Amino acid sequence: MLPSTRIRNLTGAGDDGWGLFYRARAMKAAGEPVLELTIGEHDIRTDPRILDAMEASARAGHTGYAIVPGIPALRDAVAARLAERTGVPTKRDNVLITPGGQAALFAAHHAACDDGDRALYIDPYYATYPGTIRAVGAVAVPVAARPEDGFQPRKEALMAAAKGARSLLVNSPNNPTGVVYSEETIRGIAQAAEAHDLWLISDEVYDTQVWDGTHLSPRALPGMADRTLLVGSLSKSHAMTGSRLGWVAGPEEMVGHLITLATHTTYGVPGYIQEAGLHALSLGPEFEAEIGAPFRRRRDMLAKLLAGQQVIRAAPAAGAMYAMLDIRATGLSGKEFAGRLLDAERIAVMPGESFGQAGAGHIRVALTLPDDAFAEAATRLVRFAGDLASAAVAG
């Protein structure tokens, strides 16, 4: 018996470029000292105050089924947060609590797309995007954001791809590039969505991690609230990756359909985790800034190191916990460079090709090691690239 065609084709061809990550993890498991700059996992754990709230809620008996849309207090808190950040009036009925941002992305595409619909997403992209689109039976269509444009998607490219499409998925601050979309870019995205009657799915899980410029949600633009499904999460903003707590917000009627979908899939999120999330939000923006500060600091450390050489060029990393580095001067692809770096230096990074063809010739560096270890890894990475570039010129 064969599994379904849909599930067999979730990742398309190959391993989506994540083979190197698993090889690095196997090396670490075997006792080798690998410095990992691969995934967006904080180097700190969830704050004890949040864990205390989680334990207190569980011990108080909130371990049974929670109401599927989310506990009212958390939905209200998320609604108030979004109203403040986007300027769009938002109430409880505009919000569904989900088991993390990934579940929200899956639900949003299920609600927006029918079988065979063209669903657009920006390349480079977070690794699960095309598989999430394929999982709902839609056709995943990448729209390239070019390195020469600072990985800002161009309005002309969006307009050209949008004809006959049903949805557009965007992500700012961006994983993998660290780029924060400009107001011009966001307005171009909104114009493409309006001109071609697209549902806009806006992944804003890094919205508290902006180092340069300002985050603008497309939901904030005139007329966009009625066609935008905004995805958020406490994973990155509050170092709660393992708690799996996120949300999708949108028009009330659409959220009603999403609640029906949740009833037939996830059946909600445990109440004690939701109450911990409510407590996490009560800690305020100062706490969120504290969680993000190490990534900004390491971004600056890396920028200072790169300023002293001519081989590696960096995309404008204005937010999130990543830097996208152009290593084409070494003569290698991102995949080749990452493989050789792991073998020679025991430093693991993600090939740019893991995130789409627009990332070819790049590597993604996660700013997620403690400062001393990050400085060591970055210094060795830059030296290694310089040696490769010198050898390429000599050869």
pLDDT of 15 reads 58
Residue 12 pLDDT > 90, yes or no?
no
pLDDT of 168 reads 99
pLDDT of 17 reads 62
Domain boundaries, the chain: 5-45+286-394, 62-285
pLDDT of 187 reads 98
Residues 6+ apart with CB under 8 A from 170: 121, 122, 153, 181, 189, 200, 201, 202, 203, 218
Rounded CA separation 393/388 (Å): 9
Could you tell me the two tokens for 368? 């997620």
The number of CA neighbours under 13 Å toward the Cβ of 76 is 6
Rounded CA separation 171/32 (Å): 35
Residue 392 pLDDT > 80, yes or no?
no
Residue 394 pLDDT > 90, yes or no?
no
If you average pLDDT over every residue of the chain, what do you get? 96
CATH ID of 62-285, from 3.40.47.10, 3.10.350.10, 3.40.50.1100, 3.40.640.10: 3.40.640.10
pLDDT of 395 reads 63
pLDDT of 13 reads 63
Domain 5-45+286-394 sits in CATH at: 3.90.1150.10
pLDDT of 50 reads 98
Query: String of b and e for 350-374 (b: at least 16 CB within 10 Å)?
Result: bbbbbbbebbbbbbbbbbbbeeeeb
Strand pairing partners for 322? 366
Going by pLDDT thresholds of 50, 70 and 90, the confidence category of residue 136 is very high
CA distances from 290 to 44, 48, 281, 293, 296 (A): 11, 14, 13, 5, 10
pLDDT of 16 reads 59
Mean pLDDT of 149-158: 98
pLDDT of 18 reads 77
Beta carbons within 10 angstroms of residue 329's beta carbon: 18
Going by pLDDT thresholds of 50, 70 and 90, the confidence category of residue 200 is very high
Contact 246, 100 (CB under 8 A): yes
pLDDT of 393 reads 74
Q: Which residue has better confidence, 166 or 7? A: 166
Residue with token string 């001109």: 195
Mean pLDDT of 142-148: 97
Mean pLDDT of 156-170: 98
Mean pLDDT of 264-272: 98
Strand pairing partners for 326? 313, 362
Residue 374 pLDDT > 80, yes or no?
yes
Residue 365 pLDDT > 90, yes or no?
yes
Could you tell me the two tokens for 216? 């603008």
Could you tell me the two tokens for 358? 């627009």
Over residues 217-254, the pLDDT tens digits come to 999 999 999 999 999 999 999 999 999 999 999 999 99
Strands 199-203 and 165-171, how do they pair? Answer: parallel
Rounded CA separation 207/282 (Å): 17
Nearest to 186 by CA among 235, 161, 222, 231: 222
Nearest to 124 by CA among 320, 341, 389: 320
pLDDT of 62 reads 97
Residue with token string 């920028």: 303
Residue with token string 């009657």: 197
Contact 348, 363 (CB under 8 A): no
Mean pLDDT of 161-187: 98
